[in-house]
């Protein structure tokens, strides 16, 4: 009569141990499929429902910025040098800073992503294309690198294998992505779910004042000029010469 209870207890302990290992190991991909096999995958709807208690704080943050909630337009700004991910909202015709999140981990340095395995965070203006409620790094939001501009630049350079799978995610470890920790990704996930990915995008830049590197390819100069224009439009920073 005690065997079913024992089996259930062992399953529960195994799930807990695996979940702890996944968490302590920064959610590395090695553990996560096992966790899903035991506990089952989460759905986007269930994650959003589970995060609903955070909505009040987001509404209060929006009210302080004189923004409606959810925002009608949202622009994220990831700055490598500053290690910051900012969320800007459009209030009337003016962009207003809603909130900034520290970036806890991001590999690489200044400069666009060029190829698979270079460890670089992309630079440019990108769409946000998908939610991942079952990320190995708690939760994540996909960035559409490589986009048409990246593919055109690669063709002009004769580059192939551009890489991909770029995300904003939780935890504090990353290769080529932006890791902002679990509490921050939960809040950002809810904010973007309420706003709608179609009403949001992201600017990824080397800093708040991008300066084109000497002897850079022509397309890099054009990319940095666009980044300066986008940041100036936000009021984030004045444009600077190449």
Across the range 94-101, mean pLDDT stands at 96
Look-up of token digits 């179609």: 198
Across the range 148-162, mean pLDDT stands at 96
CATH number at residue 198: 2.40.440.10
**30 domain-assigned:** yes
**Same domain flag for 89 and 15:** no
**27 domain-assigned:** yes
Q: Does residue 164 surpass a pLDDT of 70?
A: yes
**Same domain flag for 166 and 56:** yes
Q: Does residue 95 surpass a pLDDT of 60?
A: yes
Q: Specify the pLDDT at position 8.
A: 41
Of 35 and 63, the structure prediction assigns the larger pLDDT to 63
**165 domain-assigned:** yes
* Domain that residue 87 falls in: 52-234
**239 domain-assigned:** no
Q: CB within 8 A of 27, min separation 6: which ones?
A: 135, 136, 137, 138, 170, 171
Mean pLDDT rounded to a whole number for the chain:
86
In this structure, are residues 64 and 99 in contact, taking their beta carbons and an 8 Å threshold? no
**Same domain flag for 8 and 126:** no
Look at the alpha carbons of 16, 22, 27, 33 in this order and tell me if their dihedral is positive or negative: negative
**Same domain flag for 75 and 13:** no
Q: Specify the pLDDT at position 32.
A: 52
Q: Does residue 62 surpass a pLDDT of 80?
A: yes
**9 domain-assigned:** yes
**Same domain flag for 35 and 135:** no
Q: Does residue 241 surpass a pLDDT of 90?
A: no
pLDDT digits (tens, 9 = 90+) for 116-133: 999 999 999 999 999 999
**Same domain flag for 221 and 187:** yes
Q: Does residue 236 surpass a pLDDT of 90?
A: no
- β-pairing, 84-91 vs 74-79, is antiparallel
Kindly state the tokens that stand for 87: 């969320």
In this structure, are residues 85 and 78 in contact, taking their beta carbons and an 8 Å threshold? yes
**Same domain flag for 157 and 118:** yes
Q: CB within 8 A of 176, min separation 6: which ones?
A: 107, 108, 113, 118, 119, 120, 121, 163, 165, 166
Q: Specify the pLDDT at position 17.
A: 42
**45 domain-assigned:** no
**Same domain flag for 109 and 21:** no
d(CA 78, CA 163): 19
Confidence of residue 240 (pLDDT cuts 50, 70, 90): very low
**17 domain-assigned:** yes
Residues belonging to the chain? 242
**Same domain flag for 67 and 17:** no
**Same domain flag for 93 and 7:** no
**Same domain flag for 71 and 150:** yes
Percent of residues, the chain, with pLDDT higher than 70: 81
Q: What is the pTM of this model?
A: 0.83
- Select from 79, 71, 78 the least CA-distant residue to 96: 71
Across the range 55-80, mean pLDDT stands at 97
Please give the tally of structural domains in the chain. Answer: 2
Across the range 80-91, mean pLDDT stands at 97
d(CA 101, CA 180): 7
Q: CB within 8 A of 4, min separation 6: which ones?
A: none
Q: CB within 8 A of 217, min separation 6: which ones?
A: 153, 156, 157
Q: Does residue 85 surpass a pLDDT of 80?
A: yes
Q: How far is CA 78 from CA 90, 170, 207, in A?
A: 17, 15, 8
- Select from 112, 199, 174 the least CA-distant residue to 185: 174
d(CA 90, CA 140): 23
Q: Does residue 94 surpass a pLDDT of 50?
A: yes
Look at the alpha carbons of 100, 224, 233, 200 in this order and tell me if their dihedral is positive or negative: negative
- Select from 198, 186, 196 the least CA-distant residue to 101: 186
Across the range 19-33, mean pLDDT stands at 42
Q: Does residue 166 surpass a pLDDT of 80?
A: yes
- Select from 87, 201, 188 the least CA-distant residue to 137: 188
In this structure, are residues 101 and 159 in contact, taking their beta carbons and an 8 Å threshold? no
pLDDT digits (tens, 9 = 90+) for 177-219: 999 999 999 999 999 999 999 999 999 999 999 999 898 999 9
**Same domain flag for 89 and 199:** yes
Q: Specify the pLDDT at position 235.
A: 86
Q: Does residue 24 surpass a pLDDT of 60?
A: no
**241 domain-assigned:** no
């Amino acid at each position: 009569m005690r065997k079913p209870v024992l089996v259930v207890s062992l399953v529960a302990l195994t799930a807990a141990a695996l979940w702890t290992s996944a968490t302590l190991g920064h959610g590395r991909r090695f553990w996560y499929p096992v966790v899903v096999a035991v506990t089952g995958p989460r759905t986007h709807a269930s994650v959003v429902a589970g995060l609903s208690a955070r909505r009040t704080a987001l509404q209060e943050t929006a009210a302080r910025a004189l923004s409606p909630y959810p925002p009608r337009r949202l622009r994220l700004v990831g700055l490598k040098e500053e290690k910051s991910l900012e969320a800007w909202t459009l209030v009337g015709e003016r962009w207003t800073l809603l909130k900034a999140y520290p970036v806890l981990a991001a590999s690489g340095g200044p400069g666009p992503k060029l190829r698979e395995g270079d460890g670089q965070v992309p630079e440019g203006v990108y769409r946000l294309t998908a939610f991942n409620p079952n990320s190995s790094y708690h939760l994540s939001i996909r960035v559409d690198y490589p986009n048409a501009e990246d593919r055109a630049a690669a063709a002009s350079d004769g580059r192939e294998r551009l890489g991909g799978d770029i995300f904003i995610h939780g935890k504090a470890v990353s290769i080529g992505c932006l890791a902002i920790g679990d509490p921050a990704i939960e809040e950002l996930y809810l904010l973007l779910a309420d706003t709608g990915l179609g009403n949001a995008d992201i600017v990824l830049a080397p800093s708040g004042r991008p300066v084109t590197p000497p002897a850079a390819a022509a397309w890099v100069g054009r990319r940095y000029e666009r980044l300066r224009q986008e940041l100036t439009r936000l009021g984030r920073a004045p444009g600077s010469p190449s």
